[in-house]
Structure 1
Amino acid sequence: MTPSIEEHAQMTVEEFEHLEKHAPDAVKLEFIRGKLKVKPMPDQRHRAIVMWLLTQCMQQRPELLLYPEQDLKVEAYRNGRAYADGALAPVDHFVGQEGMWADTEGVLMVVEVTSKDSDTHLRDRVEKRDGYAAADVPVYLLVDRDKGALVVFSEPMNGAYQRCPTYPFGDTVRLPEPVNITLATEKLKDYAD
């Protein structure tokens, strides 16, 4: 029998939430796969990509908002805590949810933009992908600055995304149901570094 993530967790979710609540403002803490993670503060190109994507979403789907830096309960049984660079959901979707960490139910897409740090591969390309799939988020959009590409993960099933096509910056990318947004990504070349 394979041990569960909870059996190897560094702390409980409650202990993490207490620690995170008292962390300095300049530090963003996440709890992924039972382990404490420090999310780096975004640089200006990172922020520009999120704002570019926010604008695309608002123009094409005004009934939805891309909530920047949204704190979410992720993974199976919502035992993880992640700061998504963006969470696409209906207007006022998170209003009325109790506590700091929002449930992913009703979120159509989460977005992560890779950072220039040594942990970005494990965090954004593996752990968060798996956490969002386990939470049944329909679409996970990874803006991979290192590779100059968008990876569109979709069709979560049994804790894993079934589809994950990759598109180089410059391609026109149609985000699948339920997002239904088309991204002309030429502008992302300006933010590549």
Structure 2
Amino acid sequence: MSAVAHEQPITNSPSQADILLESFLSLHSPEGFRAELIEGEIIVAPPPDGDHEDYIDLLIDQVKAKSKVHMQVSGSKGLRLVSGGLCPKNHVIPDATFAPRSLRLFRGAPSWMEPDGIAMVAEITSTKPDLDRIAKRHCYARAGIPLYLLVDREKSQISLFGKPHRDEYTEVHLAAFGEPLALPAPFELELDTKDFL
């Protein structure tokens, strides 16, 4: 008598990356807190302090008033970005996301949208400055976002990163607080940072 081989059912069990992403997407952060998924780590940040909000306001006011191309801006738009390795896609919420108003990218967009058409993202350093200086910079470059503006409060300087290639920007322009910083097309404006002092 021959033994009959029984096939084991094939199960598609979720990967660790799938479980992490599902956990992140079902997370309920306390009111005012911001949750992001960056390179396989869930980051929950407290509400920003008043200085952080003042810097964002100064930046947005100038871009809206001086930009050659009329810009749409969001301070809460979730971006779904490619990630490195086996991590799920990064889910990042920049302090400010700029896109030409003519594209109307935010209208009808889901909570987490792809970054296609985004002209620039901006971050103001806060409780975890190296997250903005390093991890988010790599995320934005890898996603091909043309410009990343970092207002570094601890260093009293602004960095404008441009020309993304792989997971890094190949061009950087620095200005100490108080010095002007030129933003290229589509903005074509000089950012006045005197009020950042």
TM-score range, shorter chain: 0.7 to 0.9
Q: Contact (CA 8 Å) 2:37, 2:90: kept in 1 or not? A: yes
Q: 2:142 aligns with which of 122, 134, 150?
A: 134
Determine the C-alpha separation between the residues in 1 that align with 2:47 and 2:29.
14
Q: Is the 8 A contact 2:71 2:98 kept in 1?
A: yes
Query: 1:150–1:11: structure 2 CA closer, same or farther, 3 Å change rule?
Result: farther
Identity %: 31
Structure number having the greater helix percentage: 1
Structure 2 counterpart of 1:120, one-letter code: P
Give the CA deviation at 1:34: 0.9
Asked which structure has the greater CA Rg, the reply is: 2
1: CA distance between counterparts of 2:66 and 2:136? 26
For 1:75 and 1:178, locate their aligned partners in 2 and report how far apart those are by CA, in whole Å.
Answer: 24
Give, in whole Å, the separation in 1 of the partners of 2:196 and 2:82.
30
Q: CA RMSD in A?
A: 2.0
The answer to whether the 8 Å contact 1:139/1:176 transfers is no
Q: Aligned partners of 2:50 and 2:29: how far apart in 1?
A: 23
Q: Which residue pairs with 1:103 in the alignment?
A: 114
Choose the corresponding residue for 2:105, options 75, 93, 98: 93
1:70 aligned to 2:70? no
| In the alignment, structure 1 residue 124 sits paired with structure 2 residue 128 | no
51, 57, 78: which one aligns with 2:57 = 51
Q: Which runs of 5+ in 1 are unaligned?
A: 1-6
User: Does 143-152 or 84-93 show the bigger shift?
Assistant: 84-93
In 2, the alpha carbon distance for the partners of 1:39 and 1:75 equals: 21
Residue number in structure 1 paired with 2:162: 154
Contact persistence 1:13–1:80 (CA under 8 A): no
Alignment-derived partner of residue 163 in structure 1: 171
| 1:85-114 Cα distance to aligned partner (Å, 9 max, x none) | 0001122321112x3112211110000000
Which of the residues 66, 84, 93 maps onto 1:60? 66
Count of matched residue pairs: 177
Offset at residue 72 of structure 1 (A): 1.2
Contact 1:10 1:36 in 2 (8 A): no
Deviation at 1:9, TM superposition (A): 4.9
